[in-house]
Amino acid sequence: MPDIILVIDQGTTGTTVVLFDSQFRVVSRGYQEFRQIYPAPGWVEHDPDDIWRSVLASLDIALKKSSSNPSDIKAIGITNQRETTVVWNRQTGKPYYNAIVWQCCRSADICEKLKDKGNEDVFWGKTGLFLDPYFSGTKLTWYFRNVPNLREEALEGKVAAGTVDTFLVWKLSGGKTYVTDVTNASRTLLMDIKSLSWDEDLCDILEVPVKILPEIKGSTEVFGHTLNMPGIPDGIPICGIAGDQQAALFGQACFQPGEAKCTYGTGSFLLMNTGNEPVFSNNKLLTTVAWKLKDETTYALEGSTFIAGAAVQWLRDGLNIIENAADIEELAKQVSDTGGVTMVPAFVGLGAPHWRPDARGLITGLTRGTNRAHLARAVLEGIALQNVEILYAMESDSKQKLSALKVDGGASENNLLMQMQADLLRCRIIRPEMVEATALGAAFFAGIGAGIIKNTGEITGMRNEYYSFEPEIDDDERKAVLERWRIAVDKA
């Protein structure tokens, strides 16, 4: 039987498990959603036990759909929602509190007070990140200030704290392994992106004991081995980990500086490979670690929007305008434009390049003639327009004009959205045959870690089938849309 690579793609709204063969073709997949918890305006939580149950359920589905034997699984790759933070007891495995999700704004006041003390430049210079509630560090500050006895237990060595990858490896290994990878660590506000190690000064500022943090490894090292996992043997190496957006950049074979991708998931995330040296942004973009292969580290510029596919979910679940997320394309195509309606999907604040956690969603330009189709089209347009601002900033920082943007993620299958993106970015959009680039990237990392892939050149040869979208609208029409957007964002 062929070698199988098992990938856990742990996302914001659900978990996907994908089994790949040694040629990186999908053998089977399983998916399980889990609860979203909103205890207060702007707050978003997950129950860590819900996350783990979704992993087990997805794994069971994928195994049942496959004709392969679990003993054929030679490697495990993990990719995950990145800044979402979990704290749990190392002895009992019980979470101290719900996971605080990357979208959550609860630590906004902590960030503002740190800025008032003049700390922002310190964090930006060492981490490439801004003091924003998006990142894990201030979420940990909130935990230590608000969860009874957490600090005392941390100092006693009882507390584990990390991003979702750390939690999953700990669970997969039966509590034996406590690690993270360099890409997830680069999203915490606690790691120096040049030394790739936890920074004691930053930890002190954020009131996080360094001793509780996991070991940092590269992207293709052996992180641990399975132990007592339902349905699969003990001893399978976990040998590929990356945060979801870095995994997608790798899965899209963006191996050369200047190559970029955009992933459309709950939010949208645009990353550009900047090579072996970090590029610090003058336009409020993030500098992040893209991956580390052996001793070579690759960096990226990133612009993130917090709401993309989640805006479509809002039309479905909040307004009941559509029954299924996929219905939005046909509804939006019933009109030729938005009728002047502009939608800013700032439900949990604005990300790059604004970094305004206080911003909220806005719909402007409504008239008596506005109907469901106009609103649906405005939602798609709003998703695309957020990325225009990010790309302009990225081109300025990198000093490179992007001729093409690779896209992936569920919403990239929406042809209308992709055409809007091509029109508004004024560049070619390339969509690969397989849009699950995040899971594929994790499979590639694990494949390298397991010795199934020798180098990135082998990956490039696998990513050569695609569909493209070329700009169609004229420049005057494009400028009018961008001006509507600018005015609306100022009001959000």
- Residue 308: pLDDT band with limits 50, 70, 90: confident
Question: By the 8 A CB rule, do 237 and 169 touch?
Answer: no
Which residue stretches of 252-364 are H helix?
A: 309-313, 327-332
What's the CA gap between 418 and 412, in Å, rounded? 6
| Alpha-carbon span 445 to 452, nearest angstrom | 10
Give mean pLDDT, residues 19-35: 93
Tokens matching residue 29: 């997949």
Report which residue type is found at 393: A
User: Which pLDDT score is estimated for 95?
Assistant: 96
304 has which bridge partners? 269
Q: Is the dihedral of CA 314, 317, 323, 324 positive or negative?
A: positive
**Sign of the alpha-carbon dihedral angle for 162, 279, 453, 6:** positive
Q: What is the model's pLDDT at position 397?
A: 86
Residue % of the chain over a pLDDT of 70: 99
Question: Considering only CA atoms, which of 31, 134, 33, 12 is closest in space to residue 81?
Answer: 12
The sign of the CA dihedral 95, 96, 97, 100 is negative
Q: How confident is the model at residue 457 (pLDDT cuts 50, 70, 90)?
A: confident
Strand partners, 275: 299
- Over the stretch 248-290, which tens digit does the pLDDT of each residue have? 999 999 998 889 999 998 888 899 999 999 999 888 899 999 9
Using one digit for the tens of pLDDT, what is the confidence trace for 46-95?
A: 999 999 999 999 999 999 999 888 889 999 999 999 999 999 999 999 99
Judged by DSSP in three states, 359 sits in coil
Tell me whether residue 392 is exposed, middle or buried, using C-beta atoms within 10 angstroms of its C-beta: 0 to 12, 13 to 18, 19 or more.
Answer: middle
- Nearest in space to 441 (alpha carbons), one of 242, 273, 294, 218: 242
Q: What is the spatial distance between Cα 200 and Cα 156, in angstroms, rounded to a whole number? A: 19
Residue pLDDT, tens place only, 389-437: 898 888 888 888 887 899 998 889 999 999 999 999 999 999 988 888 8
Domains of the chain (ranges; CATH) run: 4-244 (3.30.420.40)
Confidence of residue 298 (pLDDT cuts 50, 70, 90): very high
- Distance, in Å, from the CA atom of 470 to the CA atom of 301, rounded to the nearest integer, reads 24
Q: Is the pLDDT of residue 458 over 60?
A: yes
Residue 464 has pLDDT above 70, yes or no: no
pLDDT, residue 348, reads: 81
DSSP β-bridge partners for residue 181: 217
Torsion of CA 478, 481, 485, 487, to 10 degrees: 110
pLDDT of 170 reads: 97
Cβ-Cβ contacts under 8 Å for 362 (sequence gap 6 or more): 342, 343, 344, 346, 488, 491, 492
As a whole number, mean pLDDT of residues 173-185 equals: 96
SS (H, E, C) 422-479: HHHHCCEEEEECCCCHHHHHHHHHHHHHCCCCCCHHHHHHHCCCEEEECCCCCHHHHH
Q: Dig out the tokens for 16 from the structure.
A: 């996907």
- Residue pair 58/32 in contact (Cβ under 8 Å)? The answer is yes
Distance of CA 464 to the CA centre of its chain: 24
Residue 336 has pLDDT above 90, yes or no: yes
Cβ contacts of residue 39 below 8 Å, gap of 6+?
Answer: 45
pLDDT at 463: 65
Q: How far is CA 304 from CA 172, 307, 393, in A?
A: 30, 9, 12
Burial (Cβ within 10 Å: 0-12, 13-18, ≥19) of residue 131 = buried
Total number of residues shown for the chain: 492
Question: Given the structure tokens 């819900």, which residue do they identify?
Answer: 50
Residue 392 has a pLDDT of: 86
